[in-house]
A and B are shown apart, each in its own frame.
Chain A
């Protein structure tokens, strides 16, 4: 069952103009003028222009009269198409192996099996919307079971993102207007004349008279939307991509056969890469089945790879996820992201100590959707900020924490409030109660004073934490702190918290 993301770029043509010329100020209203015959009309208007009352379809002369400061640009459909294609190719390298242009102003992609790598669907589409906004593109993102439903929902929403849960397509689209059904304009106009407003009404109407009057198009679009008819996405390709493929006269299905051919394709791809002096960072395996459905597996590597065994392993790991269905007609292997990779001497064990390159192992974990990282010191006195996550394959930093004070092995995700009995201002607690359990303190060290970081947050301007290492009678060592310096109430609430557990 596929999951389809549709990205709608409502302001593509004005966003393109802005991206091409960054010197245009943000508040400058832009309208794009198209010609049909002798008529000049507004084909796109950005947010500022819309606010001034310019809307799409308005005669150009009227828009000009309405708003003096309006910047008028001639429409250029070819440039728009090129821009959309470029964005789509970029999305292909980022999000999913199957990404296609959804003309004139959208992108569609199949993210089945790709979302877990980005922390689930909600995280993924929010990230997409954010990335697009950062690139200066307004985007509406929807995810649904079918292309049709995702397409309609992306164009119907005011918000940036929407998720249509699995199997909820009918409920999501029945109230949407019929022009979102991807039908020819003339049919939409005629349907409106007949009084149809929503997709739900249309799908509740007997099919035969509609087909007789309008042809098979309406039935096809409805069936595609409700997943009664498959609608495979033909992934976008550019000539620079290195692709090897193999078609089968007799559809294959057995796991060993698939593995065998994947192995051969990898060998072929690697020799192709070798010829060009490239290594691959992201590789897609596209499986085309007899019934027209596609399945894709993407494997990423932490650094450029051109090693047959390494790449084969990454795919072998997951060929079991392929559902051959009625058989596989064609396998293709595409190098989506490549980087130059020179031949290098692997090891000279005579002088140097033998160090193992563990990048292949990191890749195996990463492709299984697990979070792989290293940690490194970060210059901050606040304990929870003193550790940062860095990429597992990052270069060695050689930095370490400098602490004269012992640090706890487990740090609580959030400091836990406790009840403590202590003399102010700088005595450690005599006893604490944590999670209903009382600990009598036998020994203690402290305080270690940690100041808030006023350059990060205003609320930390005067904040202070006094940390104590305390040990109860049975030897359990805990890290507790009092918020505030014990004298000045401005520095904190003077409440006690536990923050860590020592070994």
Chain B
């Protein structure tokens, strides 16, 4: 555990609680971001498998949730095994997800007509087990539903990623409602990193960790997912890694 050095008393208490909750089997594994600043804020040192994580877009991105979806895709890309993606509005453009490291062979889309069916599909997929991650695009996530999803995820140790996207800006206040998910993130777009030449640089995000079980909120400025689905802390320096071989015109 990442924090073990930080506070041994808390660690011991945590272990005692997890012992009461059902012993060793409950100690879930985690998927670290590989960035110590972020991982330190997450119990277990990363996004835990067998739990529900929520992502929403901030500012103008609440309606399309593009950044949130790509962030979730990046997380899913770093897991192993198949990914089930449940949705109602099929406007995802897969080449972008492929650029975040998610191979098309790994993703199976389940398209439904109604929100409730998306919830049901996600629960079914989470309790199936053996999958890398289950992603769902949802407008509403009621407490009861999120609890069911969380339990299904805990049972099989599959990671559940919920991308919240709304139909209009005002609905985003729904994100204040409590749910049973382990972490809740908001991803807003920031102006891209400045290039020495005119052109759009690597995308940057403001990553807000709004809620985390047994942890504290935090904010990070990060560079968007690269071809391996990894984000990195924005340093202000130009990242030339994925700029190779590009003809850039300018204005």
Seen from chain A, the residues whose Cβ lies within 8 Å of a Cβ on chain B are 355-356, 358, 360-362, 364-365, 368, 370-377, 383, 386-387, 392, 396-401, 403-413, 426-428, 430, 442-447, 469-471, 473-477, 500-503
Which residues of B does A touch, CB under 8 Å?
A: 59-61, 64-67, 69-71, 73, 81-82, 84, 91-99, 103-105, 107-112, 117, 120-121, 124-125, 128-131, 187-192, 198-201, 203-205, 224-225, 245-246, 248-251
Whether A476 contacts B189 by the Cβ 8 Å rule is yes
Known interface pairs A375-B109, A399-B104; 17 further A-B residue pairs with C-beta atoms within 8 A, sorted by A's residue number: A361-B84, A371-B109, A372-B111, A383-B93, A392-B109, A403-B95, A404-B246, A408-B66, A428-B251, A442-B191, A444-B198, A474-B60, A475-B188, A477-B189, A502-B203, A503-B67, A503-B70
How long is the Cα–Cα vector from A475 to B203 in the complex, in angstroms?
8
Contact A444 B199 (CB under 8 A): yes
Q: Assess the A370–B104 pair: CB atoms within 8 A.
A: no
**Nearest residue in A to B244 (C-beta to C-beta)?**
A404
Select from chain A the residue with minimum beta-carbon distance to B82: A358
20 contacts between A and B (CB under 8 A): A356-B82, A356-B130, A358-B130, A370-B112, A370-B117, A374-B105, A375-B107, A383-B93, A387-B94, A409-B66, A410-B65, A411-B92, A426-B249, A428-B251, A443-B191, A443-B192, A473-B191, A501-B64, A502-B66, A503-B71
A474 and B191 in contact, given A410-B93, A411-B91, A426-B249 (Cβ under 8 angstroms): yes
Contact A410 B66 (CB under 8 A): yes
Q: Given that A396-B105, A474-B191 are contacting pairs, would A444 and B93 also be in contact in the complex, using a CB cutoff of 8 Å?
A: no
Q: What is the chain B residue whose CB lies nearest that of A397? A: B105
Q: Per a CB cutoff under 8 Å, which of A387, A403, A475 touches B191?
A: A475
A502: chain B residues within 8 A (beta carbon):
66, 96, 203
Do A406 and B96 contact each other (CB < 8 Å), given the known contacts A371-B111, A372-B110, A476-B60? yes
Task: Find chain B residues with CB under 8 A from A364 CB.
Answer: 124
Complex formed: what's the CA distance from A202 to B198 in Å?
A: 83
**Those 4 A-B pairs whose CB atoms lie nearest each other, nearest first:** A356-B130, A503-B70, A411-B93, A407-B95
Report yes or no: B109 in contact with A372, Cβ–Cβ below 8 A.
yes
CA A372 to CA B87, docked complex, whole Å: 11
Kindly provide the distance from the CB of A426 to the nearest chain B CB, expressed in whole angstroms.
7
Q: Give the Cβ gap from B204 to chain A, nearest Cβ, in Å.
A: 7
Q: How many Å lie between the Cα of A356 and that of B134 in the bound state?
A: 14
Q: How distant is B207 from chain A, measured CB to nearest CB, in Å? A: 12
CB pair B82 A373 closer than 8 Å: no
| Contact between B191 and A355, CB atoms less than 8 A apart | no
Complex formed: what's the CA distance from A371 to B95 in Å? Answer: 20
* Other-chain contact of B250, A401, A444, A476 (Cβ < 8 Å): A444
Question: Looking at A362, A372, A447, which has the most chain B CB atoms within 10 Å of its CB?
Answer: A372
Known: A406-B99, A475-B189. A412 touches B200 (CB 8 A): no
For the complex, what is the distance from the CA of A358 to the CA of B127, rounded to whole Å?
12
Q: How far is the CA of A430 from the CA of B250 in the complex (A)?
A: 11
Closest-CB distance, B119 to chain A (whole angstroms): 12
A239 CB, min distance to chain B CBs, angstroms:
37
B93, B95, B125, B249: the one within 8 Å of A361 (CB): B125
CA distance A356 to B110 in the complex (A): 18
- Whether A444 contacts B111 in the complex (CB less than 8 A), given A407-B93, A474-B59, A474-B191, comes out as no
- Residues on the A chain within 8 Å of B73, using CB: 409
A445 touches B59 (CB 8 A): no
In the assembled complex, the Cα of A474 lies from the Cα of B98 at a distance in Å of 26
